[in-house]
Structure 1
Amino acid sequence: MRKKYLAVAAVLFSSVFMYGCVASEGDLDFLYSRQREAETNIKKMQKDIDWLKAEVKKEDNILNLNEKIFEFENKLLELEQIIGKMHAQSEERFKKIETGLSAEAEAKSQAPVPQPQSPSAAPSEQASESPGVEPATEPSPAEKDPKENYELGLKKFADGNYEAARALLREYLAAAPRSDEAADAMFLIADSYFKEKFYEEAILEYQNIIETWPVSPKIPLCQLNQGIALLKIGKPNEASLFFESLIEAYPDSPEAATAKEHLKTLSTPGE
């Protein structure tokens, strides 16, 4: 009886043991399943995090771009104020010059001109006073070709007589403002100021060309010289705007290559 009891007990114990082993394997499978699910979720979450990081980076780029635009807008506003101030100063100088020329012309016109009476004048006076006889009229001189002023202005410019060149070229432009050589004449006026180191006047004259002749092949050179002129008067930030605009609009031009060199110099510490 004791042996039978022990045998039954042994069977029961082994059954319980086996049941415990089966339960443990099921638990392990469940844990493995949960682990795989967790790993899948982690990978998905990592993708979501990477996506969020990319979006945040985009937002940062947008913020940086907005800050850059805001900075450029401020620089542009400052540049417009500078150009406006230079324009006002130039207008004042031109007015002073015109006032001086007008005063000189008026003084000459008011000076008495001696008119000696010659004996030969008497017959002509009698003829003019005779009834039915009209005095002879002198033929009017032929009108001057405006291009003569342009060609003479070119010569004065080549000789380095920039003030005289400007006067002649302005007369030419007044007579032929839309001629084939008008843009060249305006450029020579601007360039004459640049060569004389009147940089503020040069900037304004170059701008006048850009606005009047927007498709002229001289536009890149005008923008380049504007930037250089701004450097000469101590405005490197404003000069950078002109160089960057030139590079963007005319990337393959020789002027753009020169502008890149100036920007490189400006971005180098200690320069």
Structure 2
Amino acid sequence: MKGLYARQTRLEARVERIYQDVESLKKQSMAGSSSDERQLAEIEASLAELEQSYSELTKRLNNLETRTMSSVPAPSQSGSFTGPGSSALQYEARVYEEAYKNLTEGNYIEARNQFKQFMASYPNSAQVADAQYWIAESYYREGKFEESILEFQRFIDSYPKDNRVPLSYLKQGLSLINIGRNEEAKLFLQTLIDKYPNSEEARIAKEKLRELAVKR
């Protein structure tokens, strides 16, 4: 399941890139260029295919989570585990997967609360980094951009070698743009480019910097 989560993160980065391409081409097509319109149609088709892949992957994760949760007994009122094969590790997975399911269903407040509880209860879990990332992402999806900036920074500071750090920098920059703090956004985007020059996220950052330069 860990591999599926990693694949979902990569797909998320690609979806973000294509969204930015679409927005850029929509602005260009205002001039009436037929070539731009054709390119926009092609990119939108690619976006539809990618979103379908993302949706199918999310369904697979949810199905796996449902099967996992159904096989793990809940703790008794005394707090002990009952049933054959029950273990603290299985229950840990169940807690995480319930939080993730709420995230995918758009129940952001509930998901955040569950992820925070997960981090407090299982500070040594291999999925603590995942929980912190999804807390930040939940704020971003909810449009609470100031909170998302802070939580993505917490993720970057805590897990500087995680492969989602470039995406976190990008989403910090996009969050700042969304709340009109363009000069600060430039700093985050440039940091992303400097640290991860060959990443997909850096390519998006360069495009956003060009757009911001035109707006001056």
Relative to the length of structure 1, the TM-score reads 0.47
| Residues 97-148 of structure 1, C-alpha deviations (whole Å, 9 max, x = no match) | xxxxxxxxxxxxxxxxxxxxxxxxxxxxxxxxxxxxxxxxx99342562322
Is the contact between residue 162 and residue 192 of structure 1 (CA under 8 Å) also seen in structure 2? yes
User: Which structure has the greater CA radius of gyration?
Assistant: 1
Aligned to 2:80: 142
Map of 1:252 onto structure 2: 198
Among residues 140, 148, 164, which one is paired with 1:218 in the alignment? 164
SS in 1 for 2:130: helix
The unaligned stretches of length 5 or more in structure 2 are: 1-75, 82-87
The answer to whether residue 179 in structure 2 is matched with residue 237 in structure 1 is: no
Q: Percent identity?
A: 39
Structure 1 residues 53-82: Cα deviation after superposition (integer angstroms, max 9, x where no partner): xxxxxxxxxxxxxxxxxxxxxxxxxxxxxx
Q: 1:139 to 1:265 in 2, by over 3 A?
A: closer
Quickly say closer, same or farther: Cα 1:190–1:269, change in 2 above 3 A: closer
**CA distance in 2: counterparts of 1:212 and 1:239, whole angstroms:** 21
Amino acid at match of 2:78: S
Task: Could you tell me which runs of 5 or more consecutive residues in structure 1 were left unpaired when the two chains were aligned.
Answer: 1-137
* TM-aligned CA distance change 1:139 to 1:168, over 3 Å: closer
Within the candidate set 137, 143, 147, 1:201 is matched to 147
Match of 2:132 in 1: 186
Alignment of 1:9-48 (within 5 A): none
User: Residues 20-99 of structure 1: matches in 2 within 5 Å?
Assistant: none
Task: Give the CA deviation at 1:269.
Answer: 4.3
What are the superposed Cα offsets for residues 152-194 of structure 1, whole Å, 9 maximum, x if unpaired? 0011011111111111111111112232211111111101101
Q: Distance in 1 between matches of 2:77 and 2:99?
A: 29
CA distance in 2, matches of 1:139, 1:253: 49
Say yes or no: does 1:265 pair with 2:211.
yes
Determine whether 1:227 maps to 2:165: no
Runs of 4+ with >2 A deviation: 138-141, 143-147
Pairwise CA RMSD: 1.8
Q: Pairwise mapping of residues 105-144 of structure 1 onto structure 2 (< 5 A)?
A: 140-143=78-81
SS at match of 1:258: helix
Quick one: structure 1 residues 141 and 245, their matched pair in 2 at CA, closer, same or farther if it must change by over 3 Å? Answer: closer
